[in-house]
Chain A
Amino acid sequence: MAPSAIELKPKEKTSQRPISSYVLKIASRCNLNCKYCYVYNLTDKTYLEQPAVMSAEIVQATIEKARSHCLKHELSTVEFIFHGGEPLLAGEEFFRAFTEKANKILLPDIQPRFSVQTNATLLTKEWLVLLTDLKVSFGVSLDGTPEVNDANRVDHQGRGSYHRVKAGLDLIKTEERFVENMNGILTVINIKSEPLEIYRHFRSLGVRSIDLRLPDATHDIPPPGIDPQGTNTPYADWLIPIFDEWFADADTGFTVRLFQNIIGLIFGSQRSTVDIGARSSNFVVIETNGSIEPSGALKACYEGITKIGLNVVSNEIDEIFDIPVVALFASAEDELPDTCKQCPIVSVCGGGKPPHRYSSVNGFNNPSVYCRDLMKLIAHVQEKVIGELPDGLRQEMALATLKELVSD
């Protein structure tokens, strides 16, 4: 185990939030073998110890523990996010049984919401009908054009997945109710690609929302193109042209979640995605075997980091708050290094995603390995945004650009 894991100490938390979202690893295997996947292809190989599909016993315990946690913390809604591996490998009957059981155990006191993140290669019309009928909304993972997607998102034979995903997307477009049920596309940024080509490609697919994710990385395993000791900002340089075109398009019918999130955070929103705005997180992962874990993205740090010894069969959800590594996500604001706390843009970036702060030398006590990129991107977005405010309103809001704040 890395030294930093031992050095993590429990602290008094001020911003802990109850858990309202459960990421359920209902299938531990995947029919794809994406080169950047933190589950299979970074440092952690613990997936090999997991059952292939979540059992009925674990499903029952998960829902019951979620219910008791909701009641204790007076939560009236709870969200279950079916994830994997590839979650559709769990089979249609699993989805029927889970939603039926959740509705039976939780309603009417607690309203469950369901969603699934799929690679879409297994989607059929039957699946789409089922997900729509069960009110399970879905997101699709795709990295862009065929060439860019297939550079990383390959199957176990090394074959690209784009055309199978595209077939799934075409099926979705056959009925409006399927389109309505789709949350959007999730994309991992590939800085070797042409950003505007990627943006325009997604627009041409007819989807309504995309999210652009930074590759999982740490200071020990830096992202492609980043020299932690250098000064380059390849991810900001890739994202800014897309932001500018999206902002100029001004189409409220097409969401780029990362940018919308940054704008919201500039004006005080508490909604955050994981790459930025890492305010106290309110989700946990339930592994296929029922173990309760913090974000799986931490697996990029070192082997076994998410194994905290809790399981839905024998533990309560509240017990996670006693585990130091969970605090990185459950109380992210408290866990930032001093350099972040003193930074003018921390109200927006939130210090970034905790695994991006990790190094084997300092543990999580570092700015993000994406710090320069986040600062450049967020400063750019903020400057554009406040440039749209009438002068009087901007003054009333007392908003200043990063350049102005630094020069003061």
Chain B
Amino acid sequence: MTTGIGPSSLLPAVAQGDLTAFEALYDRHSGVLYALLLRILSSPEDAQEALQETFLKVWSNAAAFDPSRGSEIAWLIAIARSRGIDRLRSRRVRGERENEAGREISTRTGFVESTTGADHAIASQQRIAVRTALDELPPAQRIALELAYFEGLSQSEIAERTGEPLGTVKTRVLLGMKKLRERLQSYR
């Protein structure tokens, strides 16, 4: 799969140990990944640690990236989300309560640009596209998907949280993902 318009991937160079490419990769994607980790963890400290872990993992595992299977940013996001959800679950086991302040930070704080103007333009364009696709989802489907994606909840946990039957939750997740996939394909 290809992602259509977008900057060329830096990961092959990173896989060769190119530190400059790695720095550029950080500058290009750290903002999105940090926003994601803030949204998942609701804690700047945790998010910053998870972000470091994410990029260290990227550095050591860049050779595993296969551009034919997805975009660079999707690959990075998958790693960051996995780190964030692991931390979140670990924290839940420890019984820590979530700090809602972090969630506000992810939506209130402005992004300090460190990418090039072209990259920023492309990123903004894509963000608008995915925001539109997400906004077009029925609220019930979107809520179910966000609970799964950002909080790492299972279908039964989502059912418990929303008070909906398990079968309904499964249907909403399935339909939501199919619609999202269709919408995003149409934007490419």
Q: Determine if chain A interacts with chain B.
A: no
